[in-house]
Amino acid sequence: MIEQYTAPVPVHMRTGDLGRRLTARRTRLGLTREETAARAGMATSYLRHLEEHPEAAPNADTLLRLAGALQTTVVELTGGNAERPPGQGRAVRGAGLDRLDAEECWTLLGTHAVGRIAVPTVEGPSIVPVNYSVVDGCVVFRTEPHATPARAAGRRVAFEVDRIDEAFSRGWSVLVRGTARAVTDPDGVRRLAERACGEPWAGGQRLLWVRIDAAGISGRRITV
């Protein structure tokens, strides 16, 4: 099947990272490139081109088919909602909240890498975002010794992760409660460095590892 490079979308929709958004969305849905191309009615080679070439400018019809195949919207695929606060979309009629069991909660935690930790401080409770991983049934993250997240060490804390799907007005949230501890022994530090995923977005050395030993975990999902 040959895809035509005609009728490009307006310039304001060419975000330059369409390929990354396509890859991230199909990966989240567990779809291969071949499966996604089949759903969208296009050649796998063309989908590969869109994912690997930032300068690609597909036409509006192609974007609509890709959005349908990936169960999202053209606006989300093209980054048009990147600066819009989440949760402003229209609510779905008949929606409700379902409780998630512990296994589902841990599975969802493992799919993300940014969460929020609530830390008690002398100025009062503070909530800050951190890059995290799930290792050996614990939430772990790196921080600077004098940063706010470091104050969690030795205290009871709450850690929260959520996901909002603007395209379908759905979402979920997971809450972990437990005690945070600084990991300082060399073997423990080495193990976390080997098994934790990703790097802190804020940059810097971030030499202090903190582990949250969960005393309880709960979660909810918006369903229709």
Q: Say which residues have a Cβ less than 8 Å from residue 173's Cβ, sequence separation at least 6.
A: 160, 161, 162, 163, 219, 220
Tally helices (H) and strands (E) across the chain. Answer: 7, 7
Instruction: Give the Cα separation of 64 and 74 in Å (integer).
Output: 6
Is residue 214 within 8 A of residue 177, CB to CB? The reply is: yes
pLDDT, the chain, mean: 83
Does the pLDDT value for residue 1 go beyond 70? no
What fold, for 96-223?
Pnp Oxidase; Chain A (2.30.110)
Delimiting residues of CATH 2.30.110.10 domain(s) in the chain: 96-223
Burial class (CB in 10 A: 0-12, 13-18, 19+), 89: middle
pLDDT score of 87: 56
pLDDT score of 113: 87
- The structure tokens listed for 11 are 């310039």
Which band of pLDDT confidence, cut at 50, 70 and 90, is reported for residue 121? confident
Across 23-27, 71-75, 124-128, 216-220, which has the greatest mean pLDDT? Answer: 216-220
Instruction: Give the Cα separation of 212 and 15 in Å (integer).
Output: 38
Delimiting residues of CATH 1.10.260.40 domain(s) in the chain: 11-77
Q: Which amino acid is at 101?
A: D
What fold, for 11-77?
434 Repressor (Amino-terminal Domain) (1.10.260)
Q: What is the pLDDT of residues 15-68, one digit of tens each?
A: 458 888 899 889 888 999 999 999 999 999 999 999 998 888 898 899 999 999
Kind of pairing between the strands at 126-135 and 208-223: unpaired
pTM for this predicted structure: 0.63
Beta bridge partners of 114: 131
Q: To which residue do tokens 């959520």 refer?
A: 162
pLDDT score of 89: 56
pLDDT score of 169: 67
